Amino acid sequence: MTRVETLASATEAPGIIKMSGVRYTWPGPRGFCLAVDDFAMMPGERLLLVGPSGSGKSTLLCLLTGIVRPEKGVLDVLGADIAKLSNAARDRFRAEHIGIIFQMFNLLPYGSVIDNVVLPLSFAAARKSRAAKSSSAEDEARRLLASLGLAASDYEGAPASSLSVGQQQRVAAARALIGRPEIIVADEPTSALDRDRQQAFLDLLFSEVEAAGTTLIMVSHDEGLGTRFDRVLRLDTIARANRNGGAT
């Protein structure tokens, strides 16, 4: 009895992301449409979302991160229905609670590495105070970079563009992680890296995510990465995509 109850309350209560009946169409004549009927994630869960290109991965991430607002449905992130938030409030929400890593070109190429890492903090007060709790935000950035395998000598005094692609991805990870946002969203962060570097990058990312108890959602077309995740989900099992805006 108690066991069932625990399970029931687990599905009920602390879901960090809950989507139901969400639908979004990109503006424009060839409006791509995505519909997600039911999708949820637990806190601290590490999820790999797999799907071929064009299956709506980017659109799903845009919805989750509040870049776009669903036309209908409930999009609950950290207990807030961000579908009901204003544009500005969603931008603030993203800055405070979500760290994002892109496939590539993550950094402002002319900026310093440290500036790139602390960049989100200028939009997120709570994250900033968390990052600067023990020392300064810049020191926290250096600590994160060090634990991601980047020594100060690798990046001091040079613009971010002078780093190798693998190093740049680690800087991007540090930027996503700084100030401990609750959710990390990674959009094929390893696809620009070769096999060895992929593994090394994921090792570093996972150890940081585990240490902070962060929820991680990563999309990829590579199912081979799945073994390291708590759950692997094919995108077409939760979402329907339609090129001409005709999804139902």
Partner 1 sequence: MIIARLALQSLRNRAATALLTVLAIAVSVMLLLGVEKVRLGARQSFADTISGTDLVVGARSGAIQLLLYSVFRIGNATNNVTWKSYQDIASRPEVDWIVPLSLGDSHQGFRVLGTTPDYFKHYKYRHGQPLRFAAGGPFDDLFDVVLGSDVAAKLGYEIGSRIVVAHGTGRVSFVEHEDKPFRVSGILAKTGTPVDGTLHVSLEAIEAIHIDWQNGMPVAGQTVSAADVRKMTLTPRAITAAMVGLKSKLSTFKLQRQISEYSAEPLSAIMPGVALQELWGLVGTAETALSVVSAMVVATALLGMVTTILTTLNERRREMAILRSVGARPATILGLLATEAVFLTLAGVVFGALLLYTSLIFLKPTIDRLYGLQLSIEAPTAGEFLTLAAVVLAGLLSGLIPAFRAYRLSVADGMTVRT
Give the footprint of partner 1 on this chain (CB under 8 A). 26-28, 58, 61-62, 65, 67-68, 87-88, 91-92, 94-96, 100, 102, 105-111, 115, 118-124, 159, 175, 187
| Residue 94 Cα distances to 87, 141, 156, 184, 194, angstroms | 11, 19, 29, 10, 30
CB 121 within 8 A of CB 178: yes
Minimum distance between the CB of residue 109 and partner 1, rounded to whole angstroms? Answer: 8
User: Based on CB atoms, which residue is closest to partner 1, 96 or 182?
Assistant: 96
CA-to-CA distance for 217 and 231, rounded, in angstroms?
Answer: 10
Could you tell me the smallest distance in angstroms from the CB atom of residue 93 to partner 1?
A: 8
Report, in Å, the least distance between residue 190 CB and partner 1. 17
Of the pair 35, 62, the CB lying nearest partner 1 is at 62
Nearer to partner 1 among residue 15 and residue 57 (C-beta): 57
Nearest C-alpha neighbor of 138 from the set 103, 110, 169, 113: 113
Q: Which is nearer to partner 1, 44 or 159 (CB)?
A: 159
Question: In terms of CB distance, is 107 or 209 closer to partner 1?
Answer: 107
Element (H, E) at 129: helix 125-131
Task: Assess contact for 41 and 91: CB atoms under 8 A.
Answer: no
Report in angstroms how near the CB of residue 145 gets to partner 1 at its nearest.
Answer: 16
**Nearest-angstrom CA–CA distance, 44 and 52:** 26
Report, in Å, the least distance between residue 118 CB and partner 1: 6
| In contact, 234 and 51? CB cutoff 8 Å | yes
247 Cβ contact list (under 8 Å, min separation 6): 23, 33, 34, 35, 240, 241
Strand order from edge to edge, sheet including 239-242: 80-81, 72-77, 17-25, 33-41, 239-242
Which is nearer to partner 1, 98 or 148 (by Cβ)?
98
Smallest separation, CB 75 to partner 1 (Å): 15
